[in-house]
Chains A and B, each alone.
Chain A
């Protein structure tokens, strides 16, 4: 599994914290473990990340988002699109500003949609042709619906030369 961020392959500085492991920084936890001892984790100085299941309401994380540097959302099968909604809610409703990672069964054809939903970190297959991924997304220069992801104008704004409501 390789990590794609800002158009390049990057090293992953996060690792899922195993039981009994010393708490190095940064700490990545499955949500269940995080919530079990929430106050404990939040009180640490380490950078914190949570792997969040795709069948839970993202508002469960809302209060803690400022303290989180990484939220990992799941695509157990590429057809399972629940994390797209979770991503938009985290970005647009709850104001999450940290890294939002897409994990699981991800196809090059979904990269663009994920970016538009606010993902900025992607687990891709080891042998993924990163250049092809970037080209595939770059080809899509325009889109109808505004959303919390990519910068730039959607068609509605461009047509009517309106300002983005996000600012």
Chain B
């Protein structure tokens, strides 16, 4: 993974020092809250319902075991012994005290981490496929391009005061595990006879007006990638709306101008930048960053008979399920990609205690070259586990309370922090997720239901990605009461689709029953082996409407 050189280090330390001074001035009263707020937002420090929340950047979701241990120490020292992994592959701490923030930032800088640009109207964390570098059929590890984009976007002098926040995601596989089509810019890498080519999309997003991104260019070359991005950001910076907070994302600009017109303007700007040399990305720099993403020292191994192990029953049934649900094919023989579930019906989705973080760091050292990935679905990945180590790893996960074999099943939900934490929320979301997970905790039933992505947002800002859930749940305020709208049929991958609202909303004590009715209707009407999304697309909304509301 990428390691800072002296230049990266200088930049981050400089920021820490700067913020130290700004915090001191706030605490002494030299800065008012109005003056301090934009400054603290630039350092990822939010004020929420009960406390400050600090969002730490985890570039493209990749952590070393050393970094994970430091996050555990920070959780223990400065927070209530836990952290929350987010839908942008970052980590959040919810109980931070302002005077301690400079020290905390110093502790992060010690392990090459920071909170830069995790808030504010700037380019945010560049996310990528968490299986990058491990999965077969990949054009290239997308994380290396996420790193190149990260450096280009950090403290960019022209793009630090955009109309609104800007989110970029990168995938290197045909199967999109990074949800690029609902990002402001999505980058898809493929390999052709002439080398790598980038397909770049603009204008995807969720929130109040969800949209699927439009394609701008199909075959951009490596050395032109940053020039394309610069052209896109410049058009947005100049033309994005600044008069209305709810219409200020780039998706609104794309929708307003139309895909064709914005494509034309971007191409024109791109050509103009090219004429004065383009945004430099020397081959030497691409090569330098590539070396950080070189494959680890794999052993020469054979594949084990995992298929057999996956069919086991009796005592081995839980392990078999873990293999089926939580592991995925690795590009190297004898290895496997393992996902650790942070969803178990007890913990809020995506939360891990300090002890768990330390345990996972140890497991990463033992089994996966010391590297951990955060997924945008709030789970963690050990990407390079030897197949023959799987039983031992599983055993240790179970001992640590991290052995749930439920990836992609109904309990594996995305939930935003919601009204329990967030000042923007209409409703709670975590307790809804906890109850759903409890309702469907019986493993055989969960597997019978199969692939089911439930995504819960406590308000229209859609941090829980409810628009792209198979079942999406949106918290709304109905006369001061917590209510929830259900929408069905959303999808975040390469066949992206936005869910459709199924009908009138449900009260807090009705919503989990409603989810159960939807699932039961699915089970009743599905064809043999048909997953939920396919069944919904075939059946339409009718059977689900009937199940929920009793009428067609």
Contact flag (A, B; Cβ within 8 A): yes
Is the beta-carbon distance between A144 and B154 smaller than 8 angstroms? yes
Q: Which residue of B lies closest to A132 (CB)?
A: B21
Is the beta-carbon distance between A159 and B277 smaller than 8 angstroms? no
Q: Known contacts A80-B242, A141-B10, A142-B7; is A159 also within 8 Å of B152 by CB?
A: no
Is the beta-carbon distance between A159 and B7 smaller than 8 angstroms? yes
Q: How far is the CA of A165 from the CA of B157 in the complex (A)?
A: 18
Query: Interface extent on A, as a size class?
Result: 35 or more
- Contact pick for A78, options B38, B151, B154, B155, CB 8 Å: B38
Let me know if A13 is at the binding interface, CB within 8 A: no
Q: Which residue of B lies closest to A84 (CB)?
A: B158
Q: Which residue of B lies closest to A162 (CB)?
A: B282
- Contact pick for B7, options A86, A109, A158, CB 8 Å: A158
What distance in Å separates the Cβ of B243 from its nearest Cβ neighbour in chain A? 10
Let me know if A152 is at the binding interface, CB within 8 A: no
- Contact pick for A145, options B10, B157, B285, CB 8 Å: B157
What residues of A have a CB within 8 angstroms of the CB of B151 in the complex?
144, 155
What residues of B have a CB within 8 angstroms of the CB of A23 in the complex?
none
Q: How far is the CA of A48 from the CA of B249 in the complex (A)?
A: 38
Let me know if B461 is at the binding interface, CB within 8 A: no
A65-99 Cβ-contact flags toward B at 8 Å (1 or 0): 00000000000001111101110100011000000
Q: Known contacts A78-B38, A139-B17; is A159 also within 8 Å of B5 by CB?
A: yes
Is the beta-carbon distance between B154 and A79 smaller than 8 angstroms? no
Q: How far is the CA of A28 from the CA of B156 in the complex (A)?
A: 31
A117-144 Cβ-contact flags toward B at 8 Å (1 or 0): 1000000000000000000100111111
What residues of A have a CB within 8 angstroms of the CB of B288 in the complex?
159-160
What residues of A have a CB within 8 angstroms of the CB of B353 in the complex?
none
Q: How far is the CA of A24 from the CA of B160 in the complex (A)?
A: 39
Q: How far is the CA of A56 from the CA of B155 in the complex (A)?
A: 25
Q: Known contacts A142-B11, A160-B284; is A85 also within 8 Å of B157 by CB?
A: no
Let me know if A113 is at the binding interface, CB within 8 A: yes
Q: Known contacts A142-B11, A144-B154; is A92 also within 8 Å of B17 by CB?
A: no
Q: Which of B104-161 contact A (CB under 8 A)?
A: 121, 151-152, 154-161
Is the beta-carbon distance between B285 and A143 smaller than 8 angstroms? no
Let me know if B272 is at the binding interface, CB within 8 A: yes
Is the beta-carbon distance between A93 and B272 smaller than 8 angstroms? yes
What distance in Å separates the Cβ of A155 from its nearest Cβ neighbour in chain B? 4
Let me know if A53 is at the binding interface, CB within 8 A: no
Let me know if A103 is at the binding interface, CB within 8 A: no
- Contact pick for A82, options B11, B18, B238, CB 8 Å: B238
Q: Which residue of A lies closest to B8 (CB)?
A: A155
Q: How far is the CA of A155 from the CA of B284 in the complex (A)?
A: 13
What residues of A have a CB within 8 angstroms of the CB of B282 in the complex?
156, 160, 162
Is the beta-carbon distance between A85 and B7 smaller than 8 angstroms? no
Let me know if B541 is at the binding interface, CB within 8 A: no
B7-35 Cβ-contact flags toward A at 8 Å (1 or 0): 11011001001100000000000000000
Let me know if A149 is at the binding interface, CB within 8 A: yes
Let me know if B234 is at the binding interface, CB within 8 A: yes
Is the beta-carbon distance between A149 and B7 smaller than 8 angstroms? no
Query: Interface extent on B, as a size class?
Result: 35 or more
Q: How far is the CA of A144 from the CA of B5 in the complex (A)?
A: 12
Q: Which residue of B lies closest to A161 (CB)?
A: B284
B406-444 Cβ-contact flags toward A at 8 Å (1 or 0): 000000000000000000000000000000000000000
Is the beta-carbon distance between A117 and B157 smaller than 8 angstroms? yes
Q: How far is the CA of A110 from the CA of B158 in the complex (A)?
A: 11
What residues of A have a CB within 8 angstroms of the CB of B279 in the complex?
145-146
Let me know if A101 is at the binding interface, CB within 8 A: no
What residues of A have a CB within 8 angstroms of the CB of B238 in the complex?
57, 82, 85-86
Is the beta-carbon distance between B10 and A109 smaller than 8 angstroms? no
Q: How far is the CA of A84 from the CA of B236 in the complex (A)?
A: 12
Q: Known contacts A158-B7, A162-B282; is A84 also within 8 Å of B17 by CB?
A: no
What residues of B have a CB within 8 angstroms of the CB of A136 in the complex?
18
Let me know if B39 is at the binding interface, CB within 8 A: yes
What distance in Å separates the Cβ of A112 from its nearest Cβ neighbour in chain B? 8
Let me know if B244 is at the binding interface, CB within 8 A: no
- Contact pick for A79, options B121, B152, B234, B277, CB 8 Å: B121
Q: Which residue of A lies closest to B121 (CB)?
A: A79
What residues of B have a CB within 8 angstroms of the CB of A149 in the complex?
157
Q: Which residue of B lies closest to A166 (CB)?
A: B277
Let me know if A147 is at the binding interface, CB within 8 A: yes
Q: Which residue of A lies closest to B17 (CB)?
A: A139
- Contact pick for A85, options B10, B17, B234, B280, CB 8 Å: B234
Q: Known contacts A79-B121, A92-B276; is A113 also within 8 Å of B7 by CB?
A: no
Q: Which residue of A lies closest to B235 (CB)?
A: A85
- Contact pick for A117, options B5, B154, B158, CB 8 Å: B158
Most chain B Cβ neighbours within 10 Å, of A57, A78, A113, A144: A144
What residues of B have a CB within 8 angstroms of the CB of A93 in the complex?
272, 276
Let me know if B396 is at the binding interface, CB within 8 A: no
What distance in Å separates the Cβ of B547 from its nearest Cβ neighbour in chain A? 48
Q: Known contacts A79-B121, A158-B7; is A139 also within 8 Å of B155 by CB?
A: no
Q: Which residue of A lies closest to B273 (CB)?
A: A93
Q: How far is the CA of A116 from the CA of B160 in the complex (A)?
A: 12
Q: Known contacts A84-B237, A156-B285, A165-B277; is A144 also within 8 Å of B152 by CB?
A: yes
Let me know if B323 is at the binding interface, CB within 8 A: no
What residues of B have a CB within 8 angstroms of the CB of A107 in the complex?
38
What residues of A have a CB within 8 angstroms of the CB of B277 in the complex?
165
Q: How far is the CA of A80 from the CA of B239 in the complex (A)?
A: 11
What residues of A have a CB within 8 angstroms of the CB of B14 in the complex?
139-141
What residues of A have a CB within 8 angstroms of the CB of B160 in the complex?
81, 84, 110, 113
Q: Which of B147-179 contact A (CB under 8 A)?
A: 151-152, 154-162
What residues of B have a CB within 8 angstroms of the CB of A80 in the complex?
161, 242
Q: How far is the CA of A79 from the CA of B152 in the complex (A)?
A: 21
What residues of B have a CB within 8 angstroms of the CB of A142 in the complex?
7, 10-11
Is the beta-carbon distance between B158 and A165 smaller than 8 angstroms? no
Q: Which residue of B lies closest to A136 (CB)?
A: B18
Q: Would you mind naming 23 contact pairs between A and B with Cβ atoms under 8 Å apart?
A: A78-B161, A79-B242, A81-B121, A81-B161, A82-B237, A85-B158, A85-B234, A85-B237, A85-B238, A88-B158, A109-B18, A109-B42, A113-B155, A139-B14, A140-B14, A141-B14, A142-B11, A144-B156, A145-B155, A145-B156, A156-B280, A160-B285, A165-B280
Q: Which 8 A-B pairs have the closest CB atoms?
A: A81-B161, A116-B157, A113-B157, A155-B7, A84-B158, A160-B284, A144-B151, A85-B237
